[in-house]
Amino acid sequence: MAEEKKLGLFALIALVIGSMIGGGAFNLASDMASGAGAGAILIGWIITGVGMIALAFSFQNLTTKRPDLDGGIFTYAREGFGHFMGFNSGWGYWFAALLGNVAYGTLLFSAIGYFIPAFGDGQNIASIIGASVILWCVHFLILRGVQSAAMINLITTISKLVPIFAFIIAIIFVFHLDLFTNDFWGKGLSLGSIGTQVKSTMLVTVWVFTGIEGAVLFSSRAKKSSDVGKATVIGLISVLVIYVMITMLSLGVMNQQNLAELPNPSMAAIMEHIVGKWGAVLINLGLIISVLGAWLAWTLFAGELPLIAAREGVFPKWFGKENKNGAPTNALTLTNAIIQLFLLTFLISDAAYQFAFSLASSAILIPYLFSGLYQLKYSWLHKEPNRGKNLIIGIIASIYGVWLVYAAGLDYLLLTMILYAPGILVFRAVRKGKEGPVFNKAELLIAALILVLAVIAVIRLASGSISI
**CATH of 9-408 given 1.10.10.10, 3.40.630.30, 1.25.40.10, 1.20.1740.10:** 1.20.1740.10
Percentage, residues of the chain above pLDDT 90: 40
Q: Which residues of 384-423 are buried (b: 16+ CB within 10 A; e: fewer)?
A: eeeeeebeebbbbbbebbebbbebbeebbebbbbbbbbeb
Listed by start position, the domains of the chain span 9-408
What one-letter code names the amino acid at 358? S
- The model's pLDDT over 139-163, given as tens digits with 9 standing for 90+, comes to 888 888 655 666 676 677 777 788 9
Does 218 score more than 70 pLDDT? no
**Alpha carbon distance 423, 418 (integer Å):** 10
- Note the pLDDT tens digit of each residue in 58-71: 988 888 888 888 76
Length of the chain: 468
Contact 43, 212 (CB under 8 A): no
pLDDT band at 293 (very low <50, low <70, confident <90, very high): confident
- With bands split at pLDDT 50, 70 and 90, how would you rate the model's confidence at 216? low
Straight-line distance from the first to the last Cα atom of the chain, in angstroms, rounded to the nearest whole number: 44
Model confidence band, residue 1 (pLDDT cutoffs 50, 70, 90): very low
pTM over 0.95: no
Q: How confident is the model at residue 449 (pLDDT cuts 50, 70, 90)?
A: very high
Burial-class residue 350 by CB neighbours within 10 Å (0-12, 13-18, 19+). Answer: exposed
The pLDDT of residue 380 is 95
| Choice among 47-51, 241-245, 251-255, 325-329 with the minimum mean pLDDT | 325-329
pLDDT of residue 172: 95
Residue 32 has pLDDT above 70, yes or no: yes
Write down the pLDDT at residue 4: 43
> What does the pLDDT read at residue 214?
66
For range 248-252, the mean pLDDT = 95
